């Protein structure tokens, strides 16, 4: 008699431990896909916001006008928030009549702190994808080993063992490895893609900090040193 070796049948007839492993891997896969799409759309918004603010920054408007426009509405781009943090600190230190070096150092430190906060937000959940990509195959392999062990224990009670009696149990166990790879491969590919995109955004933010620092330095060139 032919046996039903479809995926759904194999999952339904697998042992409880293997079924739990499969369910956990499927839930993990769904969570990783949610993270992947969330990060893709989130990074797209970040790039668009950064590009829009960068065009406005280099449009010729004064720094004071940009700061007022940035404070009039919630900043929707990391670049704008970094600019606001540096410019506010610079203006505050200038009002206290500190020397030019202290003003520049304070503005740079404020922008660096803001940069780190922005990168922490941008990189959130990226470690989850790395964990899924590295752990899922081993979890699937655990389910396979357990399923094969369970199948051979059941076969020990049979007097005659044929390929037809061994195949279903082994096939049920191998499904766990397949699901583990199904969860791991997209997570690894997405992690590499997202990490590369985040590196590009980080370089853009670092470059802006250096360029803005140079602008602030030129603006303080004629200031007298503090006594």
What is the full DSSP assignment across 40-78? Answer: HHHHHHHHHHHHHHHHHHTTT--HHHHHHHHHTS---SH
State the Cα–Cα distance between residues 31 and 153, nearest whole angstrom.
34
The set of residues, in sequence order, having a beta carbon less than 8 Å from that of 28 and lying 6+ positions away, is 132, 136, 183
Residue-wise pLDDT tens digits, 8-51 = 666 666 678 888 888 899 999 999 999 999 999 999 999 999 99
Q: What pLDDT shows up at residue 86?
A: 92
Average pLDDT over residues 99-115: 91
- For the chain, percent of residues with pLDDT exceeding 70: 82
118 pLDDT higher than 80: yes
146 pLDDT higher than 90: no
- 181: helix, strand or coil: helix
Average pLDDT over residues 64-83: 83
Residue scoring higher pLDDT (17 or 136): 136
Q: Which of 44-48, 52-56, 68-72 has the lowest mean pLDDT?
A: 68-72
Rg (CA), the chain: 29
State the Cα–Cα distance between residues 223 and 17, nearest whole angstrom.
73
Q: Where are the domains of the chain?
A: 7-219
Q: What pLDDT shows up at residue 26?
A: 92
83 pLDDT higher than 60: yes
218 pLDDT higher than 60: yes
Residue-wise pLDDT tens digits, 154-179 = 666 655 655 555 666 677 778 888 88
State the Cα–Cα distance between residues 77 and 48, nearest whole angstrom.
8
Query: In residues, how long is the chain?
Result: 227
Q: What Å distances lie between residue 169 and 6, 165, 175, 181, CA to CA?
A: 13, 8, 10, 20
């Amino acid at each position: 008699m032919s046996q039903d070796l479809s995926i759904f049948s194999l999952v339904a007839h697998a042992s409880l431990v293997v079924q739990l492993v499969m369910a956990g891997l499927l839930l993990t896969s769904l969570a990783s896909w949610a993270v992947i799409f969330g990060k893709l759309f989130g990074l797209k918004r970040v790039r668009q916001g950064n590009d829009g603010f960068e065009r406005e920054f280099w449009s010729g408007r004064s720094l004071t006008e940009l700061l007022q426009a940035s404070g009039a509405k919630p900043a929707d781009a990391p670049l704008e928030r970094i600019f606001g943090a540096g410019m506010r600190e610079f203006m505050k230190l200038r009002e206290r009549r500190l020397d030019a070096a202290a003003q520049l150092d304070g503005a740079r430190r404020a922008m660096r702190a803001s940069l780190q906060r922005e990168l922490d937000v941008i990189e959130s959940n990226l470690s989850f994808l790395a964990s899924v990509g590295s752990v899922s195959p081993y979890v699937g392999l655990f389910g396979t080993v357990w399923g094969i062990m369970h199948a051979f224990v059941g076969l020990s009670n049979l007097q005659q063992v044929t390929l037809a009696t061994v195949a279903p149990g082994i096939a049920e166990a191998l499904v766990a490895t397949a699901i583990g790879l199904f969860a791991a491969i997209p997570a690894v590919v997405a992690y590499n893609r997202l990490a590369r995109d985040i590196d590009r955004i980080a370089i853009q933010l670092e470059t802006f900090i250096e360029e803005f620092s140079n602008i602030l330095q030129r603006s303080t060139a004629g200031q007298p040193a503090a006594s």
